[in-house]
Amino acid sequence: MLRRKPLLHYTNTGKIRSHEHTAYISLTVLLLAVGFCLTTVTVGAWDRPGPAAGSIGLTGVMPGKPPTQGARITTPSPGQSFTQTPVVIGGTCPTNTLVEIFKNDIFAGSTPCNTDGIFKIEVDLLIGANAIVARVYDALNQAGPDSNTVNVTYNPGIASANGLSSLNFGGSQLIINTDAVFRGAFPNKEMSIPIDIMGGRAPYAVNIQWGDSTNKVVSRPDNASFRAAHTYAKAGTYQLSLQATDADGRVAFLTVASIVNGQPDPEVVAATASNQSTHILIALWPLYAAIFAMTISFWAGEWRERRTLIKNGLLAA
């Protein structure tokens, strides 16, 4: 037979061991510090929300000094005469500027100054005398000083001797124009440009080369202003070329710079950052509340146990 051993009862001494691994004061201070930081972040996110529906985001740049150095035209030579158009206008310029060409104070085209401080652009001349001037602009569209003036002459009457009799440059000259430069477009956002046709005889055909290996031919029944739209896939500076032809075969040319920014849509960035902050806060607050509640529960349980032992006389007060 198996003998039953008597059970030995453990005698409670009524003493509480010191907490070697629990530091409630330090833990409470740490939790309060974390709560303060979390509250500060939450208040900041609440005070600075992302763009609301229908709102408009604005960014600004403090203007600096305009360019102090102007461009200098080295091509063509002063007094030169031409029988064909367009002609090449070239010279030196300050880097990081945009060069705009004017003929008799009429805008004739624009091109960026390259990293070597040189510009080159084809310009359509007016019949007769042309006073060519180059003007530089910085990124804030602030103009620098004008370049030297180069006077040239365009006489299309001799063009037929050069095998260009199919083009009619006589009579009422055909001129095509648009804004000097297009800034601030974004990739994959439609950009609309105004185009003006002056002179010549209707109807007109306008070939628009966007500078990204795409072009569009637009037929116009009259010379009323119209707009053409295009979407660039990548950021960069493009040379936008326009060529207009009228019913009599007259031809006009224009080349302008089209600047496509590489920055993302600010509203999309702000909204994305706001959503990310909201998701993080939603996850952190419940976790913080649970840890804080657990700490308080442990502390309250120990306090209650101590009061019970003192009440029963098992622990000195």
pLDDT digits (tens, 9 = 90+) for 238-261: 999 999 999 999 999 899 998 888
**Which of 114, 105, 155 is closest to 134 using CA atoms?**
105
Residue 3 resides in a domain: no
pLDDT number for residue 163: 40
**Are residues 208 and 255 both part of a single domain?**
yes
21 within some domain: no
Question: How many CA atoms lie within 13 Å of 19's alpha carbon, on the beta-carbon side?
Answer: 10
Count of domains for the chain = 3
Q: What is the pLDDT of residues 135-161, one digit of tens each?
A: 999 988 899 999 999 999 999 875 444
In the listed set 166, 190, 213, which residue is the last one of a domain according to the structure?
Answer: 166
Cα–Cα distance, 206 to 178 (Å, whole number): 13
Same structural domain, 189 and 250: yes
Q: Is residue 16 part of a domain?
A: no
So what's the pLDDT on residue 109? 93
Share of residues in the chain with pLDDT > 70 (%):
64
- pTM score: 0.60
Note whether residue 38 is domain-resident. no
- Which range marks the domain in which residue 226 is found? 168-263
Q: Which two tokens stand for residue 161?
A: 């001797």
Residue 131 β-bridge partners: 151
Give the lowest-confidence range in 127-131, 178-182, 246-250: 178-182
- The 10s digit of each residue's pLDDT in 11-20 is 555 555 555 4
Are residue 229 and residue 250 in the same domain, yes or no?
A: yes
How much is the pLDDT for 161?
40
Looking at the fold, whether 95 and 172 belong to one and the same domain comes out as no
The CATH code of the domain that includes 245 is: 2.60.40.10
* φ/ψ of residue 142, rounded to 5: -95, 130
- Reported confidence tier of residue 172, pLDDT bands at 50, 70, 90: confident
Q: Are residues 73 and 160 in the same domain?
A: yes
- Does residue 54 fall inside a structural domain? no
Least confident of 65-69, 71-75, 302-306: 302-306
Distances (CA, A) of 153 to 2, 110, 157, 170: 130, 21, 12, 15
Question: How far apart (Å, rounded) are the C-alpha atoms in residues 49 and 47?
Answer: 6
Considering the domain boundaries, does residue 23 fall inside one?
no
**57 or 280, which is more confident?**
280
Tell me, what's the pLDDT at 277? 61
Same domain? 174 vs 222: yes
Q: Both 187 and 259 in a single domain? A: yes
The answer to the question of residue 6 being in a domain is no
